[in-house]
């Protein structure tokens, strides 16, 4: 638990909050607050002092006005599936959860727009429109549970970002309650904005600019056809080279996912998906689009990956085979749990052409620290998820796992990459921000944040490192990377 130095929650505040949202909108008991002490990032824990569960924008606004008057900081939360501790209360006694604001408000099929409350679950958006041949394109692997509000906070990605972009490319307008309780309508169903692109500034701001209560999203035409290939390689080097070969040929698949031998074997042991256990690496390449010409593209991809060293290429013959391949990929992390008592997942990015280099570096890091590291990731956009295996009962191995994780991130940065492709900075990577941003850059970012939140009461102590607040992480990251 992390109470503030002196609790600011008093009886009067509680009475006023009760007036605003009623008893059923408030969670006050320690046992119930306990489960809110972390999200998908479980290394650090801190329970809020109170949890508020508003149902409407006006409730959110009333709450934030009250907190503003009292100078109390808060942390917003959606479904709590984030992987970087974005909704961990750090010096924020109040947590505001949007999960009850989950109505789909309006669907305009002809314009391909949908307006939803921010607590709507990502997949529910697609489910609402798929009968009309539309989808909501950003599909983080947590899409069955994560909320649109959380996606906006984290600028979520997914396996299909290479072709379809990330959340920010699909959010046209938001209704946001600013930290002072003021409600601002920004953007709208139109593609052009009037004035500064504040929506663009809010997406990815990790809840530090206010609480988004509604969003107008772009919908995308669902692909009419898929071709899913499994390309089998003797080693990761050739597999990653094949990724660049495909892109260089002007083909942009819907997704290119890679698994190395350690992951292949774990997946096979768990699910018997028919992957070749002797392979050094496999790529799952999925083409999507109109039916015409897709076989030609599949043929070309097949030739390209063979040219890059694939010794076998299998094409999923039907929907069932395609589903099996994707199940193997999506459940890979679950399978990894069988290889070691603990595992830590990193989320780094390198330019796609540097994939062979970063994988070589990871092998070297693995050997240097004498620790096992598996790889399963979105190869198409250079977004790697190395999985570091360890046993937390072994203090030395635990320490080596931490160091290996850091070394991988540093290697990404040295190769012109970034600290995070889709999990966000949150609390997890604040300390590493200076690796890619200068003090001036960070200062400008904090200034930008204060445009929305001058008092820094919205999700304080996140994203931008605060001097002197850097703590040594004592346990590696054990989590599902998605």
Within 309-338, the residues that bind other proteins by CB under 8 A are 330-331, 333-334, 337
43 or 234: CB nearest other proteins: 43
Judged by CB under 8 A, the chain residues 374 through 393 that form the site for other proteins are 378, 381-383, 392
Interface residue with other proteins among 54, 63, 113, 309 (CB under 8 A) is: 113
Any contact of residue 214 with other proteins (CB under 8 A)? no
Smallest distance from other proteins to CB 390, Å: 13
Rounded Cα distance between 141 and 383, Å, is 14
Long-range contacts of 157-160 (CB under 8 A, 24+ apart): 157/378, 157/381, 157/383, 157/421, 157/422, 158/422, 159/254, 159/255, 159/257, 159/378, 160/254, 160/255
Q: Please report which residue ranges of 82-135 form alpha helices under DSSP H.
A: 122-129
CA atoms lying within 13 Å on the CB side of residue 133: 7
341 or 367: CB nearest other proteins: 341
291 or 364: CB nearest other proteins: 291
Report whether 412 contacts 69 (CB < 8 A).
no
Interface residue with other proteins among 254, 420, 428, 476 (CB under 8 A) is: 420
Residues 6+ apart with CB under 8 A from 368: 404, 407
Whose CA is closest to 128, among 110, 160, 97, 105?
105
Span interacting with other proteins, options 11-19, 194-202, 280-288, 356-364, rule CB under 8 A: 194-202
7 or 278: CB nearest other proteins: 7
Judged by CB under 8 A, the chain residues 133 through 172 that form the site for other proteins are 142, 144-146, 154-155, 157, 161-162, 165-166, 168-169
95 or 281: CB nearest other proteins: 95
Any contact of residue 27 with other proteins (CB under 8 A)? yes
Smallest distance from other proteins to CB 283, Å: 16
Site string for other proteins, 430-449 (x = CB under 8 A): -x-xx-xxxxxxxxxxxxxx
Structure tokens at 462: 């996140």
Smallest distance from other proteins to CB 367, Å: 26
Smallest distance from other proteins to CB 87, Å: 11
Number of residues that bind other proteins (CB under 8 A): 168
Any contact of residue 221 with other proteins (CB under 8 A)? yes
248 or 364: CB nearest other proteins: 248
Interface residue with other proteins among 49, 427, 428, 476 (CB under 8 A) is: 427
| 338: Cα separation from own chain's centroid | 24
Phi, psi (5° rounding) for residue 135? -140, 160
Judged by CB under 8 A, the chain residues 260 through 319 that form the site for other proteins are 270, 289-293, 296-297
Please report which helix (H) or strand (E) contains residue 364, including its range. Answer: helix 355-368
Sequential DSSP letters for 53-94: ---SHHHHHHHHHHHHHHT--EEEESSS--SS-TT--SS--E
């Amino acid at each position: 638990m992390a109470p503030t130095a002196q609790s600011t929650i008093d009886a009067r505040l509680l009475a006023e909050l009760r007036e605003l949202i009623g008893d059923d909108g408030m969670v006050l008991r320690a046992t119930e607050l306990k489960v809110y002490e972390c999200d998908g990032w479980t290394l650090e824990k801190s329970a809020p002092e109170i949890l508020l569960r508003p149902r409407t924008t006006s409730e959110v606004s009333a709450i934030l006005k009250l907190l503003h008057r009292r100078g109390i900081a808060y942390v917003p939360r959606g479904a709590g599936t984030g992987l970087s501790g974005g909704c961990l209360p750090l010096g924020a006694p109040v947590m505001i959860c949007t999960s009850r604001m989950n109505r789909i408000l309006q669907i305009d099929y002809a314009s391909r727009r949908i307006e939803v409350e921010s607590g709507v679950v990502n997949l529910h958006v697609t489910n609402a429109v798929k009968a009309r041949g539309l989808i909501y394109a950003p599909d983080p692997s947590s899409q069955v549970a994560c909320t649109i509000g959380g996606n906006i906070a984290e600028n979520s990605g997914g396996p299909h970002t290479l072709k379809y972009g990330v959340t920010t490319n699909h959010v046209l307008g938001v209704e946001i309650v600013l930290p002072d309780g003021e409600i601002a309508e920004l953007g709208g169903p139109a593609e052009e904005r009037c004035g500064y692109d504040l929506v663009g500034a809010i997406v990815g701001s990790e809840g530090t600019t206010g609480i988004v209560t509604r969003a107008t999203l772009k919908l995308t035409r669902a692909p009419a056809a898929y071709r899913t290939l499994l390309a089998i390689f003797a080693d990761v080097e050739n597999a990653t080279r094949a990724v660049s070969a495909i892109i260089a040929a002007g083909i942009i698949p819907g997704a290119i996912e890679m698994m190395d031998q350690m992951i292949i074997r774990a997946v096979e042991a768990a699910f018997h998906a028919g992957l070749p256990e002797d392979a050094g690496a496999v790529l799952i390449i999925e083409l999507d689009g109109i039916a015409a010409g897709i076989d030609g593209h599949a043929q070309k991809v097949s030739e390209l990956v063979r040219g890059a060293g694939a010794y076998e290429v299998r094409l999923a013959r039907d929907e069932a085979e395609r589903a099996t391949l994707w199940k193997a990929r999506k459940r890979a992390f679950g399978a990894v749990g069988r290889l070691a008592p603990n595992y830590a997942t990193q989320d780094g990015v390198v330019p796609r052409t540097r994939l062979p280099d970063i994988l070589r570096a990871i092998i070297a890091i693995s050997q240097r620290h004498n620790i096992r590291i598996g790889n399963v990731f979105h190869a198409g956009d250079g977004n790697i998820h190395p999985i570091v295996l360890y046993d937390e009962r072994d203090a030395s191995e635990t320490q080596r796992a931490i160091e290996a994780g850091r070394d991988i991130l540093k290697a990404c940065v040295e190769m012109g990459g970034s600290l995070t492709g889709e999990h966000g900075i949150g609390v997890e990577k604040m300390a590493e921000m200076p690796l890619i941003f200068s003090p001036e850059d960070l200062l400008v970012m904090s200034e930008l944040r204060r445009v929305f939140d001058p008092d820094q009461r919205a999700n304080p102590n996140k994203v931008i490192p605060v001097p002197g607040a850097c703590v040594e992480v004592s346990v590696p990251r054990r989590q599902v990377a998605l």
